[in-house]
Copies of this chain bind each other. A is one copy, B any other.
Amino acid sequence: MSATITSQPYGRIYNFSAGPCTLPVEVLEEARDSIMNWNGFGASVLEMSHRSKAFEGILDSAIADLRELMGIPANYKVLFLQGGASLQFSMIPMNLRPEGASVDHIVTGAWGKKSVEASNLYGGKTNVIYDAKESNYNHAPALTSLAISPDNSYVYFTSNETIQGVNYLADPANDGNVWICDMSSDILSREVNVSRYGMIFAGVQKNMGPAGAVLAIIREDLLERVPSGLPPMLDYKVMVENGSMYNTPPCWSIYMCGLVYKWMMRNGGVAAMEAKNEAKAKLIYDAIDNSSFYKGHAVAQNRSRMNITFTLPTEDLGKKFVAEAKEAGMIELNGHRSVGGCRASVYNAFPVEGCQVLADFMRSFEAANG
């Protein structure tokens, strides 16, 4: 088949990577234009003391803008930390599970599973109150349908499973539980009611900026749980007291997150992103649904708008699809080995045109190989 011709600025291609991933062209241009000399400062943000007024301003603005975008209530602390979501899997039980207490985890994919493994390394009991393993993680049970342990310290879930493409699109109920949510791959892609959560965290490298930082939004009363004697870098209270700067933070990642937040604000905020994400995902899901060739992995009500997972009739056809898509200017469409087939990750900054190009390509490929 002939290559789909795409025309993007700077010879860019459609990058469907699950993260790190496509960033807004405007944001990249701003970063590029500041890299020799930020805003007349005389040096780049890459070179700026994190103790300078200039960097403090960058950090404060990023947090203020994020608070506005997400409507974060005043009784929540916002932190930029290091070590990614994976280190949060350990820091959460270290900080927020009182010694010997039990916690509930809902497992709807690979990341939820890792959170349980990390939690099991600590004292106390980690109850897996739901595990979607038997269906190869193709769905997420309604949060209100689960038998939550009455004596839990918190209930943990993953709002969007990046590998499986399984998404919760609703917040937990206001039910008195401390809900902790890994929102790494769908934060800022849809409106959430932060007050329903005890803590939200997210690696920044999907919807916010380049890899190297992890965002944590913590209800301040939970900080009373933090035991003394934790290593300072792993202690939420130390991080709050030091405004995310106990040590040198990942300045550039935070700076670029701030640029992305401003870009979102210029473009209608979270509500506009959500509408755009729904339309983008629909282009690809329609190509799946109007075909007997492609098969979506996730059940309809839990389909992710961020990570669209599907299989082809055979593994070889899947490989051919990925290879020909690459020739046509679309990369990183290979699915994770646990799901097989293909995955198209289309976060906030991924252009709608790229979704259209992929949907067209899917139809052409099906016509040629179906």
Contacts and interface: CB of A to CB of B under 8 A. Distances in A.
Interface string A213-239: 100000000000000011111100000
Contacts of A211: 50, 248-252
A309 interface: no
A89 B247 CA distance: 12
B12 A233 contact: no
Interface stretch (A18-26, A130-138, A149-157): A18-26
Interface in A244-258: 246-253, 256
A37 interface: yes
A248 B249 CA distance: 17
A36 B23 CA distance: 10
8 contacts: A12-B37, A13-B43, A22-B43, A28-B36, A52-B332, A82-B212, A83-B87, A212-B213
Given A12-B42, A15-B48, A20-B48, 11 more contacts: A15-B47, A17-B52, A20-B50, A25-B36, A28-B46, A83-B233, A84-B247, A121-B230, A210-B251, A212-B251, A212-B252
- Sort A-B residue pairs by CB-CB distance and give the 10 closest, nearest first: A13-B42, A90-B231, A212-B250, A86-B247, A10-B36, A17-B49, A46-B210, A212-B212, A87-B233, A32-B35
Interface of A: 9-13, 15, 17-23, 25, 28-29, 31-32, 35-37, 40, 42-44, 46-50, 52, 82-87, 89-90, 117-118, 121, 203, 205, 209-213, 229-234, 246-253, 256, 329, 331-332
